[in-house]
Structure 1
Amino acid sequence: MAKECIVHIIGVKDGTVLDEQRIVEGASTAGELLERLGLGDATVYASGKRLEPGDTLPGGCQGVTVLAPPPGVLLAKVTGPGEKVDLDQLSRLMARRATVLGGGALVAFMGFVKGRVGGAQVTRLEYEALEPLATQKLRELAEKYARIPGVIDVAAIHYHGGLEPGDPTIYILVTAVTRNIAFHAAALLLEEIKHSVPIYKLERRSDGDYWILGDGTRIPRRAK
């Protein structure tokens, strides 16, 4: 007989962070629970064990958590410099999701605009993203490294537009069962993003303008 359920939802939907408890009535299976919550793209766990849609919910819904979206890519997007990322909120959310699956490590990387390169002063770094291809490629790479055994969630955010020294350029966060797995996945993802995502960089410096290639090679921009 279907009973009242109190479930914990942790994730992101339509850009809104979800970390809350909800009361659901009339659900006896995991599939019915997601239907009543309006979270079709989500996964139900009971005491750390994943439930299939037809699986019966435990009595009283004890220990039931819904991860929306399912473990994997929590966030992958190219964003403008005016949009801020709340790293505290994002990292707390990812850590809470990871605890459901036995995770114990979160690695976070932030790249930012350099103030000096060699003996030259950097005044501005301009990123131009080829959209929607850049976002599609960023998500593909995040999905690739989210499939590494032991990885739980991946978030990748890359800025575009005009940025000044000290402004963030990219965030990568990875949760995993162990720190070694988290560090490994984050490092591989970062390198592939630098070489594969169609986001182009023009570095404006006191000694001229330079295009930056993925491996850090700088090529002087020809004057028009």
Structure 2
Amino acid sequence: MRCRARVVGLVDGRPVDGERAAEASTAGELLEGLGLQGRAAVYASGRRLEPGDRLPEGCRGVAVLAPPPGVLVARLAGPGERVDLDQLAGLMAARAALLGGGALVAFMGFVKGVVDGAEVASLEYEAVEPHASRRLRELAERYASAPGVIDVAVIHHYGPRRPGDPTVYVLVTAETRGVAFHAAALLLEEVKHRAPIYKLERRSDGDYWVLGDGARLPRRG
């Protein structure tokens, strides 16, 4: 039969939320017809279908989540790159709603303009690769597997940032707000303390290294 299903998520790095059609009678055939085998999961009225499971009559209530629920995105964002937070949050909310979720927590950190009475000119982030990207993925996977969590997204900028510029995004969708708040807070702290991303704060009174706990050490030399 011709199955029209809603596809929601990121496909080849691009946001997608719309209907796509393919000839299919099983979940596996649908993914193959959409070119998403191994990269997505099929749901019918909130229940995940295995590849051999037959699709409901008329494909009612069928949705395809690409990638499957878990880590939607975990990556670094380069200098000058603009992250569309509204778009990302919208995709995550749409995916969660299809699975019975009802909460999304989004955190965005940005550069301070004043610290200890001194004006901040810039905050420079240096990411140690490939370790930084790998650690972001590992941390996101850990919290994505927590009970009640549906999707996790974490994006961290590197390079020079000006006061008011975004620096890090952490988003979590979950069945309840308590789960979402808890997972987002813990994930953020892990990113700050465990990801090998170093911060140099350039201020009117000198340059300072910024530690994960917010402490500042004067740069020597």
Give the Cα separation in 2 of the matches to 1:54 and 1:185.
Answer: 33
Provide the secondary structure at the position in 2 that maps to 1:85. coil
Deviation at 1:121, TM superposition (A): 1.0
Runs of at least 4 residues of structure 1 off by over 4 A?
none
Give the Cα separation in 2 of the matches to 1:112 and 1:173.
Answer: 15
Provide the secondary structure at the position in 2 that maps to 1:174. strand
In structure 2, the partner of 1:35 is 32
**1:81-138: CA deviations, max 9, x gaps?**
3111111111111110001111011100000001111111111100000111101100
Matches within 5 A, 1:196-207: 196-207=194-205
Question: Is the Cα–Cα contact under 8 Å of residues 21 and 34 in structure 2 kept in the other structure?
Answer: no
In structure 2, the partner of 1:77 is 75
Give the Cα separation in 2 of the matches to 1:128 and 1:140.
Answer: 19
Give the Cα separation in 2 of the matches to 1:205 and 1:144.
Answer: 36
In structure 2, the partner of 1:208 is 206
**What TM-score results when the alignment is normalised by the length of structure 2?**
0.98
In structure 2, the partner of 1:135 is 133
**Aligned residue identity for 1:123:** A
**What TM-score results when the alignment is normalised by the length of structure 1?**
0.97
Give the Cα separation in 1 of the matches to 2:124 and 2:4.
Answer: 48
In structure 1, the partner of 2:114 is 116
In structure 1, the partner of 2:85 is 87
**Aligned residue identity for 1:81:** P
In structure 1, the partner of 2:155 is 157
In structure 1, stretches of 5+ residues that fail to align are: none
Deviation at 1:63, TM superposition (A): 0.7
Give the Cα separation in 2 of the matches to 1:21 and 1:30.
Answer: 16
Matched, 1:189 2:192: no
**Aligned residue identity for 1:9:** V
Question: Is the Cα–Cα contact under 8 Å of residues 75 and 133 in structure 2 kept in the other structure?
Answer: yes
Deviation at 1:148, TM superposition (A): 0.9
**Aligned residue identity for 2:32:** E
Matched, 1:9 2:3: no
Give the Cα separation in 2 of the matches to 1:122 and 1:42.
Answer: 44
**Aligned residue identity for 2:208:** Y
**1:143-198: CA deviations, max 9, x gaps?**
10011111100110100000111100001111101111000000000000000000
Give the Cα separation in 2 of the matches to 1:199 and 1:60.
Answer: 50
In structure 2, stretches of 5+ residues that fail to align are: none
Q: How many residues align?
A: 220
**Aligned residue identity for 1:143:** E
Give the Cα separation in 2 of the matches to 1:14 and 1:140.
Answer: 20
**Aligned residue identity for 1:38:** G
In structure 1, the partner of 2:169 is 171
Provide the secondary structure at the position in 2 that maps to 1:186. helix
Deviation at 1:28, TM superposition (A): 1.2
Give the Cα separation in 1 of the matches to 2:122 and 2:136.
Answer: 24
